[in-house]
């Protein structure tokens, strides 16, 4: 008899907050309407998205080592505004700084050559979906799940121009039941957080936007290529987390940091063997490029 608690049991809907699930759903251009639904709930009213064009997720020559960085998702609105969407489901010491660097690089890439020095650069919005471990900068204010950061005058709060903007949806702090949700933002929080564990679209979410979301997340409806990639990536992702979890447990039991360090080394080796980019391995494990070269 199959164990109903086995985490590898295939579920009806993709876990959209996993790296694999996010890329399978939001990374598929056919689901652009779902992405627009989410962005238009989170963005300021003046910044409503009518059309989206998917862009390459690679930021070339980004790191000090000349390596490129691959984002989870990058797209552009009809007016040139760039939207970066990233899922963060494990703790990372400098995630906010990394977000700033990614957004700044995209803003720089939007600079028009030969614009007469007028700096007609479209704005950039970085949207972070935070799940799982806390990153250290989340709000402590009850009832607020979206935090916003941009350039403001410190005393008046005035924003002189729309340049680089950050929106973080703090799912790691959201714990409401569906019947407790107030408004679309909280309903989106619930849907994003729980879609991967549900068997059907709840009655309380039966509106067009969530019907589109659940339809896009249905694994059986993925194209053969997307489904194969999703299932492969989910196995790899679970293995990474299992290795890290085991290393942390051993480190605590032994009372030594070496246990965790050894586990991180195994994670890095597994990622290297899987052909993952060096910058991604460095972000995931915290190891430097030199340390990764030694592990090779």
pLDDT in tens, 2-39: 444 444 456 899 999 988 899 999 999 899 999 999 99
Q: Which of 60-69, 136-145, 218-227 has the highest mean pLDDT?
A: 218-227
Dig out the tokens for 53 from the structure.
């064009």
Mean residue pLDDT of the chain comes to 82
- Cα–Cα distances (Å) from 53 to 19, 68, 74, in that order, read 21, 21, 9
Give the SS3 label for residue 84.
strand
Task: Report how far residue 183's alpha carbon sits from residue 235's, in angstroms, rounded to the nearest whole number.
Answer: 35
Q: Is the pLDDT of residue 179 over 80?
A: yes
The model's confidence at residue 1, banded by pLDDT at 50, 70 and 90, is very low
Please report the pLDDT score of residue 147 as a whole number. Answer: 93
Does residue 211 contact residue 177 with C-beta atoms inside 8 Å?
no
Residue 28: Cβ within 10 Å count? 16
pLDDT of residue 5: 42
Reported as a pLDDT band with limits 50, 70 and 90, residue 260 is low
pTM reported for the whole predicted model: 0.76
* CA neighbours closer than 13 Å in the CB half-sphere of residue 250: 13
Using left for φ > 0, alpha for ψ between -120 and 50, and beta otherwise, residue 101 falls in alpha
Whether the predicted pLDDT of 90 surpasses 90: no
φ, ψ dihedrals at 26, nearest 5°: -75, -25
Phi-psi region of 61 (alpha: psi -120 to 50; beta: other; left: phi over 0): left
pLDDT of residue 284: 72
CA distances from 159 to 77, 127, 155 (A): 21, 19, 11
Structure tokens at 113: 């050559």
DSSP reduced 3-state for 146: strand
* Overall average pLDDT of the 62-78 stretch: 72
pLDDT per residue over 154-166, tens digit each? 999 999 999 999 9
| Edge-first strand listing for the sheet containing 73-77 | 52-54, 73-77, 82-88, 124-130, 164-170, 146-149
The residues, any chain, with a CB within 8 Å of residue 82's CB and separated by 6 or more, are: 55, 74, 75, 76, 106, 107, 109, 110, 122, 123, 124, 125
Q: Phi and psi for 132 in degrees, rounded to 5?
A: 80, -130
What pLDDT sits at residue 128? 94
Instruction: Give me the half-sphere count of Cα atoms (radius 13 Å) on the Cβ side of residue 150.
Output: 20
Higher pLDDT, 57 or 15: 15
DSSP helix, strand, coil percent of the chain (3-state; round to 5)? 45, 15, 40
Kindly state the percentage of the chain with pLDDT values over 70.
Answer: 81
Closest by CA position to 218, among listed 19, 13, 29: 13
- Cite the beta strand spans of 62-174 per DSSP E: 69-70, 73-77, 82-88, 124-130, 146-149, 164-170
Cα separation, 192 vs 214, in Å, equals 10
Q: Any idea how long the chain is?
A: 296
What number is the average pLDDT over the span 167-181? 94
């Amino acid at each position: 008899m199959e164990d109903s608690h086995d985490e590898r049991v295939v579920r009806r809907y993709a876990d959209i907050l996993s790296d694999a699930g996010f890329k399978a759903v939001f990374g598929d251009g056919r689901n652009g309407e779902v992405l627009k639904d989410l962005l238009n709930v989170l963005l300021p009213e003046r910044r409503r998205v009518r059309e989206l064009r998917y862009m390459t997720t690679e930021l070339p020559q980004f790191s000090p080592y000349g390596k490129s960085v691959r984002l989870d998702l990058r797209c552009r609105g009809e007016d040139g505004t760039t939207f970066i969407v990233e899922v963060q489901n494990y703790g990372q010491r400098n995630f906010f700084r990394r977000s700033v660097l990614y957004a700044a690089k995209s803003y720089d890439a939007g600079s028009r050559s030969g614009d007469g020095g007028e700096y007609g650069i479209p704005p950039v919005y970085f949207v972070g979906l935070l799940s799982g471990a806390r990153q250290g900068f989340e709000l402590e204010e009850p009832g607020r799940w979206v935090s916003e950061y941009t350039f403001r005058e410190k005393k008046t709060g005035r924003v002189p121009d729309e340049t680089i903007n950050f929106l973080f949806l703090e799912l790691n702090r959201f714990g409401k039941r569906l019947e407790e949700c107030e408004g679309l933002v909280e309903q989106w929080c619930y849907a994003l957080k729980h879609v991967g564990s549900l068997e059907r679209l709840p009655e309380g979410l039966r509106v067009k936007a969530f019907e589109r979301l659940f339809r896009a997340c249905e694994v059986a409806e993925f194209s053969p290529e997307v489904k194969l990639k999703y299932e492969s990536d989910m196995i790899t992702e679970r293995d990474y987390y299992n290795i890290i979890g085991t290393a942390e447990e051993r480190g605590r039991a032994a009372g030594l940091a070496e246990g965790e360090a050894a586990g991180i080394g195994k994670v890095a080796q597994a990622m290297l063997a899987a052909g993952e980019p060096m910058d991604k391995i460095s972000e995931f494990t915290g190891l430097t490029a030199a340390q990764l070269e030694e592990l090779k």
